[in-house]
Structures are given as structure tokens and as C-alpha cells.
């Protein structure tokens, strides 16, 4: 199983998420091909309501500690409660950018 799939599974099992995106950004860093070392997580959950940003980060870092122990080097976290998501992006979650579209 690839690291992105393990991250998705761990977060989905630990939290009631309304939106989750996990992106492998390793290719944009000076690491050997296939490193699976740098990731970005966008997560939306009601369970984040009322929690400080640092507590949200601590929670996700704790959930994903086995991945850090296994060689994950960097994790960019973008964590929102549903109201924050709505205020920032509107009602529907953002679509990821198209990987091959020219238009």
C-alpha cells in the first residue's frame, strides 16, 4: 500500500471527515524518485470546531506518527471545521487541479 493510501486510511479511521485530500508532493522536492516523503493534507471535520490550530496539527501528527517513523519527512496540514471551509471556499469542497487538461 502506498503512503498516500495509508495516510488516507489512518485519518479516515480516526476522524469523522466530511472532506479529505492527501497529495504526494515529493516530486517537487530534491528527493530520489519514489521517495514518498512530502505530503499535503486538506481535512474538514466537525471535530475540529473549537480546537486551536496547534491542537488540530498535534492531533493529525499524532495519528500519522507511524508514517513519520517510517520515513515521511514533511507534512503540510490545512485543517478546517465545516464553517471555516464554507467561509473560505464556499459550499462545495474545492476540486483538485486537473493533471492533464490544457484548457
> Is residue 42 included in any domain, yes or no?
yes
What was the pLDDT predicted at 89? Answer: 84
> Is residue 56 included in any domain, yes or no?
yes
CATH code at position 10: 3.30.300.90
In this structure, are residues 41 and 12 in contact, taking their beta carbons and an 8 Å threshold? no
Instruction: Tell me, yes or no, if the pTM score tops 0.85.
Output: no
Backbone angles phi, psi at 10, to 5 degrees: -60, -45
Taking only the tens place, the pLDDT of each residue in 43-57 is 999 999 999 999 999
Instruction: Give the structural domain span for 26.
Output: 3-89
User: 3-state DSSP call for residue 24?
Assistant: strand
What was the pLDDT predicted at 56? Answer: 97
pLDDT under 70: residue ranges of the chain = 27-32, 34, 91-103
What was the pLDDT predicted at 77? Answer: 96
> Is residue 38 included in any domain, yes or no?
yes
Domain count across the chain: 1
Amino acid at each position: 500500500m502506498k503512503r498516500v493510501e495509508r495516510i488516507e486510511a489512518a485519518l479516515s479511521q480516526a476522524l469523522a471527515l466530511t472532506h479529505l485530500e492527501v497529495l504526494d508532493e515529493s516530486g517537487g522536492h530534491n528527493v530520489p524518485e519514489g521517495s514518498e516523503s512530502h505530503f499535503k493534507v486538506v481535512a474538514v471535520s466537525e471535530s475540529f470546531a473549537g480546537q486551536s490550530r496547534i491542537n488540530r496539527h498535534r492531533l493529525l501528527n499524532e495519528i500519522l506518527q507511524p508514517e513519520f517513523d517510517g520515513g515521511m519527512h514533511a507534512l503540510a496540514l490545512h485543517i478546517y471545521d465545516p464553517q471555516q471551509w464554507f467561509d473560505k471556499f464556499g459550499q462545495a469542497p474545492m476540486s483538485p487541479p486537473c493533471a492533464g487538461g490544457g484548457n
